Amino acid sequence: MNIAAHLEIIIGTMFSGKSTELIRRVNRYEVAGKKVQLFKPMLDDRYSVDHVASHDGLKRNVTYVKDLDDLKRKYEPSIGVLGVDEPQFLESGIIDFCEEHVQRGGISVVSLLLKDFLDNYFKFKDGHGDTSEFIRRADHVTYLKALCTYKTQDDICGNEATRVQRFIDDAVAHPDSPLVMVGGKEAYAPRCREHFKFYR
């Protein structure tokens, strides 16, 4: 396969199907003869090192990593396609790492959460930069959206959701609540511009 080296990104809100789209794309490259590795940050210790991720019936092996150094250790330079799911939970150096793979002639496919629950670009774990940098550097950008699930009087809104609302104990989350909550009593819902609410 003679496809040019490039960085392609899938950005989207939660529930937009972006992880499913990532799996679909790397599986497609694999069928075309490319060697693939797919990495995902481990947010807690629930998962073993290798895990079969399944989204809407699509399956493939995923290598879970604790941080960017862990990813670099597990990365095999001979692969054709580097897939990364949710790099917003890693350090900012993940962007350079994806580009270095491209500079060596590879394809990097990345699926990321663009914005946090306050509708700001997601900041990397080390505090340097945010997810907008991926857009600046990508060759191909796909933007996926969920549909707004806000309940109107007798229906559900259904407009395209460009934002996600976070609830803690059924109330809109306070802006000072932690960016990443693991195991907290929280919930998220896709929201359109009209139905996204700021805390007050």
Instruction: For residue 149, state whether it binds Zn ion (rule: CB under 5 A).
Output: no
At 159, the amino acid letter reads N
Minimum Å gap between C-beta 193 and Zn ion is 8
Choose the binding region for Zn ion from 72-80, 123-131, 179-187, 192-200 (rule: CB under 5 A).
192-200
Contact 189, 165 (CB under 8 A): yes
Instruction: For residue 150, state whether it binds Zn ion (rule: CB under 5 A).
Output: yes
**Degrees to nearest 5, angle at CA 182 with 150 and 45:** 135
CA distances from 139 to 52, 67, 73, 113, 178 (A): 29, 25, 26, 18, 32
Pick the closer one to Zn ion by CB: 140 or 151: 151
Whether 86 is catalytic is yes
Choose the binding region for Zn ion from 75-83, 113-121, 173-181, 186-194 (rule: CB under 5 A).
186-194
Q: 36, 71, 195, 196: which one contacts Zn ion (CB under 5 A)? A: 195
Pick the closer one to Zn ion by CB: 101 or 195: 195
Contact 59, 27 (CB under 8 A): no
Instruction: For residue 159, state whether it binds Zn ion (rule: CB under 5 A).
Output: yes
Q: 148, 164, 173, 189: which one contacts Zn ion (CB under 5 A)? A: 148
**Torsion 178-179-183-186 (CA) sign:** positive
86, 91, 133, 160: the active-site residue:
86
Distance between CA atoms of residues 66 and 56, nearest Å: 26
Q: 135, 144, 147, 157: which one contacts Zn ion (CB under 5 A)? A: 157
The SS3 of residue 118 is coil
- The residues assigned a catalytic role are 86
User: Which positions touch Zn ion (CB under 5 A)?
Assistant: 148, 150, 157, 159, 192, 195
